Structure 1
């Protein structure tokens, strides 16, 4: 669907209510496309149940030990971060339901998205516990701590900020899952995370297409929202205990780092939407576009420096080994 631009320079800013109403037909179209593209799958089919056995505690089983799992150390770290992120679904649902509403096409999408995301946490936890990939006691304590803190979006300025954020975040999550699977050392884990990543890609396409429609409808406001989100982007799990340390190890391990963030997350979405080529902007929109272009250049430089430091670190580790 093509929407003719209707925000001219100097025009009054669109309110969230007006934007929600104007974009509802786009949301309905995208839901129909999503449902046709999505394939039903069952979490239990991706868990090797025959590997399971009782843990210690009330069942009197065997206590967990790191050597019981075939998953690599970096795979284990990333799996815990990814699962704890998925676990905070109640907070995410509250955020988008508050912004998008629970009625009409918007409400239909909010509930559909929540149901699909819930499957991800189910299958990941079942896999991790059945294969003894992680310490179940530590995992539960981290879950309780993280969910007790809740989640508040960095980008809750407007619904446009939220749409822009999830367009990038869903792609970032897909990349993280796929790379975690490849680095896990377990073919079953990789297959499970590839299935989850397929869902995340469909979610990204939904929000990316919605963002494209918003860019046509309210180009200046949308450009400013994209600028704000890209410049201040943080993954939703940033509030979990030990996140900075885990993120550093994940970065060095090649699962998710500045280079991946720049090349595989930000650039594809910006390029698809032709954000830096958008014309007809007001002075405010043009300023946001220029700042976005400058930031992307700076981020590329930071990513290059990170790669140099990482390569030097890995070389020193290899020499010691």
Structure 2
């Protein structure tokens, strides 16, 4: 893959992420929550629907992880320099995948414990969507990180919004844990995008613009009834994923000391793509 940042840059970003994510601060599904107190009767129909929706999204983790494996391979299909870069990135992706898989398990466990779904039936429901392929239509490496920047921040914000409106302590605790993890994932990809901007400047303007111009949240193009369901669960928590675009603009502002005309135009374009005041 062309236009990678130097391996020292990706290694510094990974080191920073892992330093902020020590194993001692990790949590596990089995002991982090009092599952016996989970009670879906304290949720509205819309909140139950939101839990079901985000469980499907999180559970597609094998597909998301495979994107990194295919586009940043760690095998003999790439030259030595590219392998070295991708091997450093892999230290992040395996930790990220573990945490995202924990999110999927926590949400599924909540559905079972709270009485939203029976475990076997839920497993079958998740498999229907989980077998569908997932890919991102990008050819520049910065695009994978810019997409993740928006997606991770949007997911973090949704979990926070939903936590603030539910009156069920166990679900609120789960959502709080998930939001904190997503915030750390966002910080990593924001750091990487910043490093691309500093290293390549105007050369990444068009790739970044393309990400926003064609942005879709995960599974938007494969899940049956996605858009209707997404609108319903957005109303439950007063949420719009384009709120996350503001954070990409902030990354651009911090990364570029002397803004060029093309970078200024990119920031204006991203701001105009927002659908919230």
State if a TM-score over 0.5 links the two structures. Answer: yes
Residues 1:212 and 2:194 are matched in the alignment: yes
Aligned partners of 2:47 and 2:203: how far apart in 1?
40
**Deviation per CA, 1:71-108, whole angstroms, max 9, x where unpaired?**
22121121112111111111111101222334532121
* Structure 1 residue runs without a partner (length 5+): 1-13, 53-66, 305-321
Deviation at 1:111, TM superposition (A): 1.0
Aligned partners of 1:40 and 1:277: how far apart in 2?
34
Aligned residue number for residue 303 of structure 1: 276
* Structure 2 residue runs without a partner (length 5+): 75-85
Count of matched residue positions in the alignment of Structure 1 and Structure 2: 265
Aligned pair in 2 of structure 1 residues 143, 111: CA closer, same or farther (>3 Å)?
same
Q: Secondary structure at the match of 1:133?
A: coil
1:51-90 equivalent positions in 2, closer than 5 A: 69-90=41-62
Rg bigger for which structure? Answer: 1
Residues 1:179 and 2:179 are matched in the alignment: no
Aligned residue number for residue 103 of structure 2: 120
Partners of 1:75 and 1:185 within 8 A in 2: no
Aligned pair in 2 of structure 1 residues 203, 101: CA closer, same or farther (>3 Å)?
same
Aligned residue number for residue 148 of structure 2: 166
Partners of 2:13 and 2:191 within 8 A in 1: no
Partners of 2:61 and 2:100 within 8 A in 1: yes
Aligned residue number for residue 197 of structure 1: 179
Moved more, 80-89 or 144-153: 144-153
Aligned partners of 1:37 and 1:278: how far apart in 2?
35
Aligned pair in 2 of structure 1 residues 71, 46: CA closer, same or farther (>3 Å)?
farther
Aligned pair in 2 of structure 1 residues 211, 38: CA closer, same or farther (>3 Å)?
farther
1:1-321 equivalent positions in 2, closer than 5 A: 15-16=2-3, 18-19=4-5, 21=7, 23-36=9-22, 39-50=25-36, 69-102=41-74, 104-134=87-117, 139-154=122-137, 156-238=138-220, 239-257=222-240, 261-263=241-243, 265-274=244-253, 279=258, 281=260, 286-287=261-262, 289-297=264-272, 299-300=273-274, 302-304=275-277
Partners of 1:262 and 1:296 within 8 A in 2: no
Q: Secondary structure at the match of 1:45?
A: coil
Partners of 1:171 and 1:201 within 8 A in 2: yes
Q: Secondary structure at the match of 2:250?
A: helix
**Deviation per CA, 1:28-51, whole angstroms, max 9, x where unpaired?**
433443334982212123444435
Aligned partners of 1:38 and 1:232: how far apart in 2?
39
Deviation at 1:129, TM superposition (A): 0.6
Q: Secondary structure at the match of 2:20?
A: helix
Partners of 1:96 and 1:110 within 8 A in 2: yes
Aligned partners of 2:265 and 2:24: how far apart in 1?
37
Partners of 2:48 and 2:116 within 8 A in 1: yes
